[in-house]
Structure 1
Amino acid sequence: MITPTFSCSQSTTSVTVNIYVPAVRASDVEIHVDGTLLSVHVNPYFLRLTLPGRVLEDDASDAEYDPSSGYLKVTLTKEESGEEFKGLDILAQLLAPQKQKPSSPLIEAVSSDDADSELARTTENMTMDDTDKELLEGKSPLHNTNLNYIAAAENDWQLPQEVPSPLPILTTTAERRYGFLNMHSGYFRHVTYTENDVNELGPDAETLREEERRIKRMRREEDKWDEEHYMQVWADFADDEWIQQLIDYKFPVTAPGSPDVNSSLKFTDEENLIMLRLPRKEYLSTAEQLHSLYLTLVTILFSYAYDVRTTQHDPTPESAWTISVLTPAFTALDRPPYLSLVASTFTSPNSVRFAPDILKDTLIPSLRRSLAFPLYRSWTLAMKCILDVSRMFAGGKHGVLRGMLAVKRILDSHDMYYVYSKIWVDDFCAWVARDASDEDLKFIGQSLRVLHLDKSCVGWDLEALENAVRAQLAQPSDSDDESTDTDA
C-alpha cells in the first residue's frame, strides 16, 4: 500500500483531512473512524492517522472526492466542540502508531471473602482439571496471554509493548551497537574501503566500547587543535573581517511558536514529504536513554547552527562534513552525557536533569571541535551558535523538528555521510515528532539562553592566545618604504 500525501486543518467544530489520491473511484473509498483513529483505504492507497483528539461521524461529517484535482476531502466533527487539536501540522506524529493506554481491569474487583465463596459455588457444579483451575484462578500463563489478546483487539490489534527487564550482559560477538538507542550495527564494517573522512574510529568503529570511543575522540581533538590558526581567525575578527559578518548574521527562526515569529507558519511541502517517509516505530527507552537523547539533540543542532551561520543558510557540498565532524555522536559514535551521573538524575525534575553543569559538559566537545576542525574557529561564533540552538529549542517540537529535518536533508544528499542520517537522524526526527516533550525541549532552550561558559572549559588557553594577538596588533607596523626627513 502507498501512503498518500495529505494535510490537516481544523475549525472550532471539525477537522478536515485533504488526501491526494489521484485516479481512483469514489465508490471504492473506505473510511473508518473510531475515536482518535481515522483510516482511509482506496486501492492502492492506505492512510491511518492518530488524531490529537476524538472525532465523530455524524450528519455534519462529509467526504468529497474531486476527480479533477485528485483530492479526497474528509471532514469529521470534533467530539468536544471548541477543542484545539495540537500538532495537526506534524504529519509524522499523526502517522505514528497509536499510543498505548494503561490497561484497565477486565474483571471486577471483589473482596477476598466474596471471591472465595463465589469460586466455591462455581467449583461445586463443575469438573475441572488442574489446568482449568489455574486458568480460572489467574495462575496459568494462558491467563495473561488471553488478556494480552483481548487488549490487542481493543487497541486495533497493536500488541502491548513494554521495556523488558534488564538481563545479565551476554556478549557473543565483538561488535558493539551504536546510534539511536543503540539500535544499529554493521554500518562501518567496510569503512576502510570508503572515503569517510568523518569517522575517527577507523576500522575499529564496530568493536570499540563507549569509553574507548571517547578516548579516541579526545585525542583527535588535541591533534587537530592549531594555536596559529585560532590566532589568525581571531585577528581577522579583531580587524572586522569576514568572521564578523558570520557572527552578526541573523539566524533564521522559522519554527511555529518560536519567540518573535508568527505562530501560523506551517511546515513546507518538502518538509511534509520528508515526514511521510520517516520510520513509524514505537521507541521504548529507559530514563537514562531518554536523558541522553535530549542532550544529543543539543549537540546535533549546535553543528547545524554552525553550518547555517557559516553558509548563511545556503548549504554547500561541505555542509554534510561540517555537521558530521562537529557532532561527537557522529564522528566518534560518542553520545552524551559525558559526566558520570547517578541513576537518580535521570528521573529527577528538569532543573536537575538539565542542570547548567550537565548542559555545559554536553557542549564542551562541540565547542572544542568548532575550534579545532572547520575553517572559521571563533569562540564568539560558537557562543552565537549556542544562542541559535536555544531559539530552536524554545520553539518546542516545531523548532527542533524543523532543524532536524534540515539536517536530514543535508545528510541525505551526500553520497557518504547519509549513513549518519540512517543511524541517528531518521529515528530522531520520528521520535521528536511523536514522543519528545514540549515542556522538556522549551526548558532546555531557556537554560541554554542563560548558560554561562568561560573559555577555560575547553582545556586550551584561549585567553593567552587572544592577548598575544592584541599585543601584536597594538605594535606599530614596520615598513621598508617609510622615509624620514633626514633621508630627504
Structure 2
Amino acid sequence: MITPAFELTQDPDFLTVKIRVPYARASEFDLYFEGEDFKFYAKPYFLRLTLPGRIVEDGREKASYNTDEGTFTIQLPKEVPGQYFEGLDMLTSLLAPKKSRSAKPLVEEIASSAELSEENEEDFDWEMEQIPYEESTPPLQHPYGFGNLRSGVFQRLQDELSDVIDIKDPDQTPAQERRRKRLAAEAAKFEPDHYLADFFEDEAIKHLLKYKPWWIDAHKKMTALQGESHQEHDSPAFVVFSEEEREQMRKFTNKSYLLDKRSRCHVYLGLIDILLAYCYEICVNEGDKNVESSWNIRKLSATLCWLESFSSIHDVLVSFGRRVLCYPLYRHFELVTRAFNDTVMILQLGKAAVLKCLLDIHKIFMESDPAYILNDLFITDYCIWIQKVKSKKLAALCESLQKATLSKSHLGLELEELEAAAVLVQEEEKALKAAGTVSKQQLLCSESETSDSEESSSTSSSETEGSDSDEQESSTSEDGEINSFQGTLQEERTAPLIDCNGLRQGTNTSAMEVSDGKSKVSFQSTTPPGKLVEELEMQIHSAMRLSEQPEGLATAGCISQEQEENPVPEPDRFSEDAAGKGNFLEVSPKPNPLLFLCSTNEDED
C-alpha cells in the first residue's frame, strides 16, 4: 500500500482532510472516521490517521473529488464546535497508530533486584548447545546520538565517518574526555589575527546582518496578532510547509522514544545547539545553499561534530560562540548574537517552525556525502520527536533561553584584552602618523624658510661680492694706475743712473719691484713721453735754482733731494736686466746732478 499525500486544515466547526490520489478510481474508495480515528482507502492508497481532537458523524460531513488534480476533499464536523486541534501540520505524528502514541514502555521492570521464585522458574535445559569460549571486547559504555541511544556506529564505520566528526574513536571516549579534547582543539584553532581583522574590517559582517530570513516576517505577524486571537500561535498561519517538506515528513517512520529525565535534557539542549548553527549558516549565506552549508552546520554544532552532551543552556551558548570565532570564514561576535536572537524567534513560533528548520537541515545533510550519517544519528529522530513535543515545554525552553546571557568574557579567548590592545596600537599608530605629518610639514616649512633665507643670503652675498669685486676692481685699477705711475717715475729716475754707468741704454721698459711693506708686485710699464718731458722741465728748473747756490751746497742739496726722490739702490740689491740675468749695480756715491740732468735731457731730445 502507498501512503498518499495529505493535508489537514480546520475552521471553528470543521476539520478538512485533503488527500491526493492521482491514480485511484474515484468510484472505489472507503472512508471511516469516529472519535480520533480516520481511515481512508482507495486502491492502491491507504491512509490511517490519529487526530488531535474528536470528530462526529452527524450529517454535516461532506466529500468531493477533483478529477483534474486527483484529490479527495473531506469535511468532518468537530465534536466540540470552536475547539482548536493542535499539531495538524505534524504529519508524521498523525500517522502513528493510536496504541503506539504512549511513551510508556510496553515492558517494564518492576524490581531489578527481585529474585524469581522457584515456582516461576523454568526447568534447566541440560541439552543446550555449548559454545567455545572466545575473548570478546567489553561492551561500549559511551553512547551518543539522539538521546544517547546509539553506540558502536563509528566503530564499524570509522573510515567513512572520519570527515564528519572531529573526535577520534568516540565509542571508547567518555563524555568528559570529549569535552576536554574539544576545548583544547578550539583553543589551538583560535586565530587572534583573523578575529581582529573581522572585528575592525566589518563591512561584510554588517551587510550579512541586514539579511532577513523567513522567520523574522512570521514572528512579526505572530507578534501583531498576539492577543487578538485565542488560537495557538504555531498554526500554519505563520509557518507554511512546502509540498517537498510534507513529502519528507510522510517518508519518516513514526516511532516513540523512551527517554529519561537526563536524556530529555540532553535532547532539548542539543536542539538549541543545532538551531544556533543552522541560523548562522542561513545568515552568512543569506538563505542560499552551497557546498559549505553542510560543513558550517556540523562544524559549529558541538552536538554534531563532537557528540557533545550539554548540561546547561549557558554551556551551549559558550560552545557555539567559541566555535563561531574559531572555524568559519566570518568570525564576529555579532554573528553569535544574531544566531541567538534568531533561535529565540524560531522557538517562539512553536514546533512547526522548529520542524521546518530541521527538515531543511535534513535535506542539506542528505545531499552531502558523508554528512547524511548525521541524519541517522540525530536529525531524523529530531524531526519525528519534535512533532510530539508539547508546546508548553517548548515555550518553557524558549523562556529559559531568553534569560540566558553570553558575553565575550565567557568564551575564555581573552577577546576584550585583544580588542583593547588592538585599539591601543591603532591609537599609537594614528599618533605617530599625526606626529610624522606635523614633523613633515614643519620640515617642509623649515626647508622653504631655509631656501628663502639661502636665496636672500645668496642675493645679498652676491651683491656684497659684486660690490666687493667692484671695489676690488676699482682698487686694483687705482692701485694699478698708482703703481704704474710710480713705476714710471721709478723707471725715469733709475734709467739715467744705469745709462750713466753704461749698463743699459735705449731701454723704454723695465721690470721693477715695488714693495708696500708686505708683498712685492712685479709689473712692466711703458713711459709716457709727455709726462717725462714735464717732469724733466721741472727738474731742470730746480737744478738751475740749485746751480745758482754755492757748489758744495748745490751738490749736497742735489744729492739729498735725489736720494729722497729716488734713493740709490744698495750695493747688495739684486735686479734683473732685460735678458733676465741678475747683476749687482755699483753706483757712484757722488754723481754730478748737472751732468745727470743734462745727459738725461740730451737723451730725451
TM-score by length of 2: 0.62
- Are 1:56 and 1:77, in contact at CA under 8 Å, matched by a contact in 2? yes
Deviation for aligned residue 1:454: 2.2
Deviation for aligned residue 1:325: 0.8
Counterpart mapping for 1:185-204 below 5 A = 185-189=151-155, 191=157, 193-194=159-160, 196-202=162-168, 204=169
The answer to whether 1:416 aligns with 2:382 is no
SS of 2:18 mapped into structure 1:
strand
Tell me the distance in 2 between the aligned counterparts of 1:166 and 1:206: 30
2:106 to 141, 161, 178: 161
Tell me the distance in 1 between the aligned counterparts of 2:138 and 2:29: 51
Tell me the distance in 2 between the aligned counterparts of 1:448 and 1:185: 30
The answer to whether 1:287 aligns with 2:261 is yes
- Are 1:251 and 1:309, in contact at CA under 8 Å, matched by a contact in 2? yes
User: CA-to-partner distance for each residue in 1:65-101, whole Å, 9 max, x for gaps?
Assistant: 3333211222222111222222222222322333668
- Are 2:186 and 2:322, in contact at CA under 8 Å, matched by a contact in 1? yes
Tell me the distance in 2 between the aligned counterparts of 1:165 and 1:291: 25
Tell me the distance in 1 between the aligned counterparts of 2:212 and 2:354: 18
The answer to whether 1:10 aligns with 2:41 is no
Counterpart mapping for 1:358-397 below 5 A = 358-397=312-351
SS of 1:53 mapped into structure 2:
strand
Deviation for aligned residue 1:214: 2.0
SS of 1:65 mapped into structure 2:
strand
Pick closer, same or farther for the CA change 1:58–1:82 going to 2, 3 Å. Answer: same
Pick closer, same or farther for the CA change 1:181–1:450 going to 2, 3 Å. Answer: closer
Tell me the distance in 1 between the aligned counterparts of 2:164 and 2:426: 36
Tell me the distance in 2 between the aligned counterparts of 1:167 and 1:45: 46
Pick closer, same or farther for the CA change 1:247–1:25 going to 2, 3 Å. Answer: closer
Tell me the distance in 2 between the aligned counterparts of 1:220 and 1:191: 23
Deviation for aligned residue 1:38: 0.7
Deviation for aligned residue 1:53: 0.6
SS of 1:302 mapped into structure 2:
helix
1:308 to 279, 282, 285: 282
The residue identity in structure 2 corresponding to 1:448 is: L
Tell me the distance in 1 between the aligned counterparts of 2:71 and 2:192: 60
Pick closer, same or farther for the CA change 1:166–1:290 going to 2, 3 Å. Answer: farther
Moved more, 183-192 or 63-72: 183-192
Counterpart mapping for 1:181-220 below 5 A = 181-189=147-155, 191=157, 193-194=159-160, 196-202=162-168, 204-220=169-185
- Are 1:302 and 1:389, in contact at CA under 8 Å, matched by a contact in 2? yes
1:317 to 291, 298, 321: 291
1:245 to 180, 200, 207: 207
- Are 2:9 and 2:15, in contact at CA under 8 Å, matched by a contact in 1? yes
Tell me the distance in 2 between the aligned counterparts of 1:92 and 1:34: 20
Q: Specify which structure has the bigger relative contact order, considering alpha-carbon pairs within 8 angstroms and separated by 6 or more residues.
A: 1
Unaligned runs of at least 5 residues, structure 2? 114-136, 226-232, 449-605
Counterpart mapping for 1:31-430 below 5 A = 31-98=31-98, 161=106, 172-174=138-140, 176-189=142-155, 191=157, 193-194=159-160, 196-202=162-168, 204-237=169-202, 241-253=203-215, 258-260=222-224, 264-265=237-238, 266-337=240-311, 358-430=312-384
Alpha-carbon RMSD across the aligned residues, in angstroms, is 2.9
SS of 2:31 mapped into structure 1:
strand
- Are 1:35 and 1:55, in contact at CA under 8 Å, matched by a contact in 2? yes
Tell me the distance in 2 between the aligned counterparts of 1:362 and 1:336: 7
Pick closer, same or farther for the CA change 1:408–1:379 going to 2, 3 Å. Answer: same
Pick closer, same or farther for the CA change 1:164–1:269 going to 2, 3 Å. Answer: farther
- Are 1:200 and 1:331, in contact at CA under 8 Å, matched by a contact in 2? yes
The residue identity in structure 1 corresponding to 2:211 is: Y
Tell me the distance in 2 between the aligned counterparts of 1:97 and 1:283: 15
- Are 1:259 and 1:391, in contact at CA under 8 Å, matched by a contact in 2? no
Tell me the distance in 1 between the aligned counterparts of 2:308 and 2:101: 35
- Are 1:62 and 1:75, in contact at CA under 8 Å, matched by a contact in 2? yes
Pick closer, same or farther for the CA change 1:363–1:279 going to 2, 3 Å. Answer: farther
Matched residue, 1:445: 398
- Are 2:140 and 2:152, in contact at CA under 8 Å, matched by a contact in 1? no
- Are 2:8 and 2:16, in contact at CA under 8 Å, matched by a contact in 1? yes
Pick closer, same or farther for the CA change 1:259–1:399 going to 2, 3 Å. Answer: farther
Identity %: 32
SS of 1:37 mapped into structure 2:
strand
TM-score by length of 1: 0.76
Matched residue, 2:426: 473
Work out which of the two has the higher radius of gyration on C-alpha atoms and give 1 or 2.
Answer: 2
Tell me the distance in 1 between the aligned counterparts of 2:199 and 2:367: 33
SS of 2:404 mapped into structure 1:
coil
Deviation for aligned residue 1:321: 0.5
Deviation for aligned residue 1:228: 1.8
Moved more, 93-102 or 370-379: 93-102
Aligned residues: 406
Pick closer, same or farther for the CA change 1:319–1:159 going to 2, 3 Å. Answer: closer
